[in-house]
Amino acid sequence: MRALLLSVLAVAASAAAQQPDFRSRTDLVRVDVLVERDGRPVTGLTAADFVVEDAGVPQRVELLRLSETVSVATVLDVSGSMTAEQLAKAAAAAGAIDLGLRKGDRQAVYAVAGGVREVAGGAHGSPAYVADVASALRAGSGSSTSLFDALNVAIVQGLRTEPADVVLVLTDGHDNTSWLSAASVIDTAIRLETVICVVTIRQPPGWNTDAPVAADAGLRLAQILADRTGGRVVHADWTRDLGPAFTTLLDAYRQRYILSFTPEGVKRDDGWHPLTVKLRNRPGKVHARDGYWSR
């Protein structure tokens, strides 16, 4: 298991080596940034409060206006021997996001077990929404998990017409049937500027950990996905309502900053550029993607 874990984490850490065949603009680099202090978003910062380095070279940054709308892709892991109560709580989490949407916001819900499928709920904001999602989840639960494949679908397909701004994931960390690697998912998210936030579920004692990527390795990979895309990981369990965990992540995403810069003092079209985002003389934890592709 230790050898497997090290191998999987090494793959994730070398995401830059895998390059899907699509291009991104590098004349202007955008970076979504969330700043937290004592677990709460920090507001009121300006561009002067940030230090951004492109491959170690400080850049002149501007603060862009936030989009008034957010597109959310919610990925619910319904694999394993989930009970009807657990499926209902997963559906309620999607319902909590639905209720938290503002005018112009959109949510697509994906269920992942052995395959990936979009789940259709009732009219947004209606009492039937959660019931419809719960019914759809019950119809598609299973023992296998294709989490990485589901994340890739959620990022790329998003809301069908455009990639998702943020992907919210509910998972126990298992993945045993994905075709795609964690590295390719990370790379896709970074290229499309998608933030991945994860709600990890602690399973009860005696849970099967014989999957090729068992929970401990999978949850570490969830942390890597979040760290490398500028997202967050929160922990939950089945004894509580999952809705607050999801709405906390969405609310924090709304309070992010969008920094932009035109690369100066660095090469262009030369591949992977590591990014470092720090605060200038202010306390706080910064969440931001760790690089971009210059092609």
- Which residue, among 16, 47, 24, 28, has the nearest Cα to 263 in the 3D structure? 28
Q: Two tokens at 279?
A: 């605060």
Assign 3-state DSSP to the chain and report helix, strand, coil percentages, each to 5: 35, 30, 40
Q: What is the mean pLDDT of the chain?
A: 81
- For 258-266, what is the mean pLDDT? 96
Q: Is the pLDDT of residue 6 over 80?
A: no
Maximum alpha-carbon separation in the chain? 57
| Residue 38's pLDDT band (cuts 50, 70, 90) | very high
pLDDT digits (tens, 9 = 90+) for 158-203: 556 677 899 999 987 777 778 888 888 888 888 888 899 999 886 5
CATH code of the domain occupying 71-254: 3.40.50.410
Residue 247 phi/psi, 5-degree rounding, is: -70, -30
Distance CA 214, CA 217 (A): 6
Chain mean position to CA 73: 9
Task: Tell me the mean pLDDT in the region 231-257.
Answer: 91
pLDDT computed for residue 59 by the predictor: 98
Taking residues 149-158, report their average pLDDT.
79
C-alpha radius of gyration, the chain, whole number: 19
Q: What is the pTM of this model?
A: 0.81
| pLDDT value at residue 251 | 94
Alpha-carbon span 197 to 199, nearest angstrom: 7
Q: Which of 74-78, 215-219, 290-294 has the highest mean pLDDT?
A: 290-294
